[in-house]
Structure formats: structure tokens, C-alpha cells
Amino acid sequence: MAGIESLDVLAEQFARLPGIGRKSASRLALAMLEYSQDDIDAFVAAIRDAKEKIHRCPVCQNLTDRAICPVCADPTRDASTVCVVADTRAVLAFEKVRAYRGVYHVLHGLISPMSGVTPDALTLRELLARLQDGTVKEVIVATGATTEGEATAMYIARLIQPLGVKVTRLAHGIPYGGELEYADEITLTHALEGRRDVD
């Protein structure tokens, strides 16, 4: 950018983030130069702090800054129902609705041969381990209604059904191609209520 190398480097860093194009990245880099040193320090501290404190919950694999995440640690949550989701954002969407009282399992991705994401990259080993002691009676596969979401749901259903655990899928109600995190609360509640067996 006009021979200001350190500004180019910063803009490239912003451009690496998802959904940030080259124009936006330049804008963000320039905006950051307007920050006071205190503001820069606060931003950097927030990044380092989040990276240091946040890890995966050993039970559900959701992100948390505690030993066990608040959902898994809550004795009033129904541990016999596990809602399997792609990522933390999907958990946040469900928790906002407050219609769901079971627990979660976060896959941290969806199977996508196009992007080179194989089942090995997901937390399926950890999911299977949770199903060994008979506590879990139902697994709700709540991946989005996209090609990857459907493929992942099918894969998980075939993996779990031999264990005798009931596998359900969110009901129609989520618009086709829609991302879970953008579903409104009513759509999400209906999708939960109308969940069906995977046949």
C-alpha cells in the first residue's frame, strides 16, 4: 500500500481473517493506526488472553474458559440427550432460544471432501466415547441443512445407530442452504420440536 510496508503487513494479517476482503483489510489496518497506545495494548491483551484461557471442554468439546463448560457442569441439564453441532456458534444459537435442556457435542467442523475435511478432523472419537456407558439415550444431529451438514449427519447416524442409541435430526423448518446461526428463534424452536428419526 503505497510503500508503507508495515501497513501492508498489518492489512495482510486482517485479510487472513474470514469474511475480510482486501479493501476491508486496508480500512481496518488504517483504523488501528488511529488507536492510542493504550487501545493497542487492550486489543493485544484481549487476543492473548482469549488464546491463553479458552480451550475445549473435555466433555462436549465446546469452547470454554473453565475446567468444564457451564452447560456440562449444570446438573439441571439432561445428560441423556446430546445435540451434535458443527461449532460454538451453533451452541450459542441454541442457548439463546432456551428451548433446549439437553447437552451438546461440538464437532469443530463438517465433513467436506471439497475442503479436505475428513471425519478424522472432527471430534467423533470423543462423541463415541461419550456413548459407551449408556447414559446417552438420544443424539440429535443438528448440523445445518447444507450439503456438508447433511453429509455429516448421515455419517454420524451410520456411526451411532449400531450402538442402539436413538439418532434424530432437526425437523424441516430451517430453510435450505441456511446457516444455523442465522435461524430465528421460532424456526429453531420448531426445528427442535419436530426432530425426526434418521431412517
Rule CB under 8 A: which residues touch a second copy?
1-7, 9-10, 12-13, 17-20, 23-24, 26-33, 35, 37, 40, 42-44, 46-51, 53-54, 63-65, 70, 87-89, 91-92, 95, 181
Report the residue number, 143 or 168, with the smaller CB distance to a second copy: 143
**Three-state secondary structure call for residue 66:** coil
* Cβ distance to a second copy smaller for residue 3 or 162: 3
Rounded to an integer, what distance in angstroms lies between the CA atom of residue 60 and that of residue 87? 11
- The label of the residue with cell 439415550 reads 137
CA-closest candidate to residue 86, choices 142, 127, 151, 129: 142
Least Å from the CB of residue 113 to a second copy: 20
Q: How far is the CB of 92 from a second copy (least distance, A)?
A: 5
- Distance in Å, CB of 55 to a second copy, minimum: 9
Asked if residues 99 and 188 have their Cβ atoms less than 8 Å apart, the reply is yes
Q: How far is the CB of 95 from a second copy (least distance, A)?
A: 6
Query: Are 86 and 152 spatial neighbours (Cβ–Cβ below 8 Å)?
Result: yes
Residue 12 or 138 having the CB closest to a second copy = 12
> Which is nearer to a second copy, 16 or 125 (by Cβ)?
16
Query: Rounded to whole angstroms, how far apart are CA atoms 169 and 130?
Result: 19
| Identity of the residue, 8 or 150, whose beta carbon is nearer to a second copy in the bound complex | 8
**Cβ at position 165, least distance to a second copy in Å:** 26
Residue in the structure block whose three cell numbers are 435461524: 183
Which phi-psi region, left, alpha or beta, contains residue 7 (left: φ > 0; alpha: ψ -120 to 50)? alpha
Residue type at 21? G
Closest by CA position to 65, among listed 75, 57, 77, 74: 57
Min. distance of Cβ 103 from a second copy in angstroms?
13
Query: 126 or 157, CB closer to a second copy?
Result: 126
